[in-house]
Amino acid sequence: MYVCLVMDAWMDAENKDEDYRRYIPLLTAALRGDWDSAKRFFDQDESALTAIISNSEDRALHIAIMSGRSIEMVEKLVDLMPPEALALREISGCTALSVAALYGNTKAAVILVKKHPASLYICNNKNWLPLHSAANAGHKDTLLYLLSVTKEDDPVSKPFAYPSGALLLSELVQSEFYDIALDLVRRYPELATSTLDDGGCALELMAVKASAFPSGIRLNRWQRLIYSYVPVKLENYADQDHNRSDIENPVNSS
> Are residue 114 and residue 170 in the same domain, yes or no?
no
Residues 1-19: tens digit of each pLDDT: 544 554 455 555 555 555 6
Q: Choose among 56, 47, 49: nearest CA to 9.
A: 56
CB 32 within 8 A of CB 66: no
> Are residue 153 and residue 204 in the same domain, yes or no?
no
Count structural domains, the chain. 3
> Are residue 154 and residue 170 in the same domain, yes or no?
no
Categorise residue 199: left if φ over 0, alpha if ψ from -120 to 50, beta otherwise. Answer: left
Examine residue 247 and state whether it is found in any structural domain, yes or no: yes
- Residue 117 belongs to domain spanning: 97-159
> Are residue 231 and residue 248 in the same domain, yes or no?
yes
Residues 47-98: tens digit of each pLDDT: 999 999 988 899 999 999 999 999 999 999 999 999 999 999 999 999 999 9
Examine residue 15 and state whether it is found in any structural domain, yes or no: yes
pTM of the model: 0.79
Examine residue 173 and state whether it is found in any structural domain, yes or no: yes
Examine residue 7 and state whether it is found in any structural domain, yes or no: yes
Examine residue 89 and state whether it is found in any structural domain, yes or no: no
> Are residue 126 and residue 145 in the same domain, yes or no?
yes
CB 198 within 8 A of CB 162: no
Examine residue 92 and state whether it is found in any structural domain, yes or no: no
> Are residue 181 and residue 115 in the same domain, yes or no?
no
